[in-house]
């Protein structure tokens, strides 16, 4: 029998991909509803290997989706809700047009609601999966929490983001999970470690908001992402609070009297929400559970004992980091950013307060003599206290990254601050520019090691001197014995055969150029041994390395010119002052 000829593009990439227009036709959805559905379900366009085959021979560049993803969307019950929304909007619009307000009120009371709980469970089957994907979620939620009332973003969404992000910060404080902090132009970078997963997010600066036009940013797509992320963050907060033995929603222990005037003035929900936003009051726990300190077992590993030692050192440094500010009391001045500093200080066991008129949640006043550090961002203050240090905010960030309390002299009020270095950069990076300030930090460590080695060498030399003294006394005793035994030894030597002698060899100096030539030859041989399928990857890696080297050279040159310019300016200033 003659087999039937297959139709063109019925197999292979032509059958695997479908265009966006064909997907809309298959799902019977509008473009906005399709975008919303894809964002919620986590489905994105795919890039085919051969675009001509995937597009079935049509020219141009089209947005393509995998056929299995579209079939997966067809079974989603949210599609029916989106269609109900379409019918609901049509009915409300018709009632509004004919001024049938009774029917319009009835439609609005029974409007359809979209629930995304099952999608969160579907996309993140375990809690660790959700924690691993928190980076973008937190960054976008913190961004929306800073938005004022805008025409294209509902106010309820930004309020919900504000509540959820504050609850997450409380969970990080209670778990003492913060590890790294950094201030940049974009905002405050934070890195926390929760359930073994590192989470990095950005909190924007609290400046006056300048709204952008809708042509620059598509707020509708961002709002759809936030719609899903708020549900996800709510689930994560709920689980985190229960693992930390905390009530969710957060509750506070009885702080004030029941007849408190401040509480009587506002609603109870507002009262709790304001204190949650303060980040300064500890949450009440459901059970009094003791925190378990992680201890590393002493295994007798002969294969890799260095890794065990590194893990032990890391555990010790984390233990000291969690109690970095324990026993210290900080007072924040009016001009200092309150929220990031309160969050960082409380994460590491410190106490913090501010003026009562500035924000709610202050625990002690400025006149308290037990305050150890007063955080200021001014050059001078009228009234000072002798019992405390007046420091700038950068000291707290640098102490966290260094994991020790740094000396305060460089951070005092009015001093020129040292450069704020990023903790997210790899110290052992190759062919990259390292600022001189960062090199100084490393050189301090090397100097400490050299001092240790010198002290060890001194102790070794002292021991050798003591040994040499003992050897001298033994040699005197041996000389007396040798004189008496000389005659016996001479007679024995005449009778014995001559012994074989070994002369000491001469040290030959190796030429450095010869050693470099050998290394270069070995390197070229290793390059030739690279497989064909890996050669293009190796070439791209080497090209990137060369580009990094060029960039580092340019930055070195810029820094050199900058330092020379500063030197000349200082000389001119000195001359002017002398004149």
Considering the domain architecture, whether residues 399 and 261 belong to the same structural domain is answered as no
pLDDT tens-digit profile of 79-93?
Answer: 998 888 889 999 999
Alpha helices of 19-154 — where are they, by DSSP H?
Answer: 20-27, 31-41, 51-54, 67-74, 78-97, 101-109, 117-123, 127-132, 134-145
Indicate the number of domains in the chain.
4
Residue in 388, 389, 397, 293 with CA at minimum distance from that of residue 343: 397
Where do we find the tokens 């969710």? 248
Is it the case that residue 477 has pLDDT exceeding 50? no
pLDDT tens-digit profile of 359-377?
Answer: 888 888 888 889 999 999 8
Residue 54, domain extent: 13-109
Model confidence, pTM: 0.75
Binned at pLDDT 50, 70 and 90, residue 120 comes out as very high
Mean pLDDT of the chain: 81
Considering the domain architecture, whether residues 125 and 273 belong to the same structural domain is answered as yes
pLDDT tens-digit profile of 177-197?
Answer: 999 999 999 999 999 999 989
Is it the case that residue 298 has pLDDT exceeding 80? no
390, 384 contact by CB (below 8 A): yes
What is d(CA 117, CA 122) in angstroms, rounded to the nearest whole number? 9
Is it the case that residue 449 has pLDDT exceeding 70? no
501-518 exposure pattern, b = at least 16 Cβ within 10 A, e = fewer: eeeeeeeeeeeeeeeeee
Is it the case that residue 451 has pLDDT exceeding 50? no
**DSSP class of 334:** T
Q: Helices 67-74 and 31-41, interaxial angle, to 10°? A: 100
pLDDT confidence of residue 193: 93
Residue in 116, 139, 266 with CA at minimum distance from that of residue 200: 139
Is it the case that residue 225 has pLDDT exceeding 50? yes
Considering the domain architecture, whether residues 140 and 236 belong to the same structural domain is answered as yes
CATH code, domain carrying 378: 3.40.50.10190
- Pairing of the two strands 197-204 and 187-194: antiparallel
Q: How many CB atoms lie within 10 A of CB 368?
A: 14
Considering the domain architecture, whether residues 132 and 271 belong to the same structural domain is answered as yes
**Would 70 be classed as within a structural domain?**
yes
Binned at pLDDT 50, 70 and 90, residue 461 comes out as very low
* SS3 assignment, position 343: helix
Mean pLDDT for 145-164 is 84
List, in order, residues 6 or more apart from 127 with CB less than 8 Å away: 195, 236, 239
140, 187 contact by CB (below 8 A): no
Q: Helices 268-278 and 155-175, interaxial angle, to 10°? A: 60
Considering the domain architecture, whether residues 190 and 331 belong to the same structural domain is answered as no
- Minimum mean pLDDT range among 372-381, 407-416, 511-520: 511-520
Considering the domain architecture, whether residues 125 and 270 belong to the same structural domain is answered as yes
Where do we find the tokens 């579907």? 122
């Amino acid at each position: 029998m003659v087999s039937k000829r297959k139709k063109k593009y019925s197999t292979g990439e032509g059958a695997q991909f479908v265009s966006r227009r064909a997907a809309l036709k298959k799902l019977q959805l509008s473009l906005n509803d399709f975008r919303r559905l894809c964002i919620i379900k986590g489905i994105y366009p795919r890039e085919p290997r051969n675009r001509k085959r995937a597009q079935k021979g049509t020219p141009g560049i089209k947005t393509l989706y995998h056929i299995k993803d579209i079939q997966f969307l067809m079974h989603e019950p949210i599609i029916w809700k989106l269609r109900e929304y379409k019918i609901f909007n049509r009915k409300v619009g018709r009632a509004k047009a004919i001024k049938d307000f009774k029917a319009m009120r009835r439609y609005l009371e029974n409007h359809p609601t979209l629930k995304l709980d099952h999608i969160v469970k579907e996309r993140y089957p375990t809690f660790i999966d959700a924690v691993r994907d928190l980076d973008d979620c937190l960054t976008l939620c913190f961004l929306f929490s800073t938005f004022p009332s805008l025409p294209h973003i509902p106010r309820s969404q930004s309020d919900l983001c504000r509540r959820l992000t504050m609850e997450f910060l409380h969970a990080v404080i209670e778990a003492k999970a913060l590890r790294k902090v950094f201030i940049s132009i974009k905002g405050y970078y934070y890195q926390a470690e929760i359930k073994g997963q590192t989470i990095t997010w950005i909190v924007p600066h609290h400046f006056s908001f300048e709204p952008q036009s809708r042509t620059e940013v598509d707020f509708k797509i961002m709002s759809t992402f936030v719609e899903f992320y708020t549900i996800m963050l709510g689930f994560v907060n709920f689980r985190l609070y229960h693992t930390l033995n905390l009530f969710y929603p957060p509750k506070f222990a009885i702080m004030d009297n029941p007849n408190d005037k401040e509480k009587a003035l506002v609603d109870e929900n507002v009262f709790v929400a304001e204190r949650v936003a303060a980040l300064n009051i500890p949450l009440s726990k459901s059970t009094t559970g003791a925190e378990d300190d992680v201890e590393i077992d002493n295994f007798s590993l002969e294969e890799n004992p260095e890794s065990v030692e590194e893990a032990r050192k890391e555990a010790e440094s984390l233990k000291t980091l969690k109690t970095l500010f324990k026993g210290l009391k900080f007072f924040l001045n009016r001009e200092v950013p309150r929220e990031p500093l309160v969050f960082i200080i409380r994460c590491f066991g410190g106490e913090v307060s501010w003026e009562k008129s500035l924000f709610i949640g202050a625990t002690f006043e400025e006149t308290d003599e037990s305050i150890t550090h007063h955080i200021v961002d001014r050059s001078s203050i009228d009234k000072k206290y002798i019992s405390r240090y007046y420091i700038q905010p950068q000291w707290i960030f640098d102490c966290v990254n260094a994991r020790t309390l740094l000396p305060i002299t460089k951070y005092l009020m009015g001093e020129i601050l040292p450069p704020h270095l990023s903790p997210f950069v790899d110290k052992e990076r190759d062919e990259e520019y390292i600022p001189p300030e960062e090199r100084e930090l490393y050189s301090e460590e090397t100097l400490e090691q050299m001092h240790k080695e010198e002290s060890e060498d001194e102790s070794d030399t002292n021991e050798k001197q003591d040994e040499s003294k003992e050897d001298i006394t033994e040699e005197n005793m041996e000389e007396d014995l040798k004189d008496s035994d000389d005659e016996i030894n001479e007679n024995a030597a005449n009778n014995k055969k001559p012994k074989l002698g070994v002369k000491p060899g001469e040290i030959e100096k190796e030429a450095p150029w010869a050693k470099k030539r050998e290394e270069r030859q070995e390197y070229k041989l290793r390059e030739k041994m690279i497989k064909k399928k890996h050669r293009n990857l190796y070439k791209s890696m080497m090209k990137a390395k060369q580009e990094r080297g060029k960039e580092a050279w340019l930055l070195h040159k810029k820094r050199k010119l900058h330092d020379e310019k500063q030197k000349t300016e200082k000389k001119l200033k000195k001359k002017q002052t002398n004149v």
